Amino acid sequence: MFLFTGRNTTKTAGIDLIRRLQAYTANGYLKPTTYLCTFDITDLYTMLLQEESLDILTEFLLEHGYTKVNSVPIDAIRKLARLVLAENVFTYEKRFYRQVIGGAMGSAFTLTLANIFMWKREKRLVQQQLNANEIYGRHV
């Protein structure tokens, strides 16, 4: 699942998707023109725009009522997040490189940041789908 905030819109199990489709059909929303689709974002971790991701992180925390997390102010969280992203280095063929776009693959922080980044993108899409009596989900 992307985030706890997406529980109503994100589908992670087959039975959950089937139940949602049954309700969708029972409410008369399934039509011959209805399309079912899925998508996957490849290389999301390494393609995140760092500043935009930090802005979205701040927005996410504020929207969910946080001014501090475990006594750490949001401004400090943002600075620490920038440090993690901007100072990430790796080696390749005996040379050092600094990552200037995105975050490190396999990093727990990058996973969280990518999920929050997608929260922002999903929010707009979900609202459009709700306005049109459509459903939105993800089946893995």
Q: What is the pLDDT of residues 90-124, one digit of tens each?
A: 889 999 988 888 888 888 899 899 989 988 888 88
Model confidence band, residue 10 (pLDDT cutoffs 50, 70, 90) = low
CB-CB neighbours of 101 under 10 Å: 10
| pLDDT over 60 (residue 137) | no
Torsion of CA 66, 72, 78, 80, to 10 degrees: -150
Average pLDDT value for residue range 42-58: 90
For residue 123, give both structure tokens.
Answer: 């929010």
Q: For residue 5, what pLDDT is reported?
A: 40
Q: Kindly tell me if the per-residue pLDDT of 18 is higher than 70.
A: yes
Q: What are the CA-CA distances from residue 127 to residues 21, 32, 50, 78, 139 (Å)?
A: 18, 23, 26, 27, 19
Query: Taking the complete model, does pTM exceed 0.75, yes or no?
Result: no
Given this model, what pLDDT does residue 39 score? 67
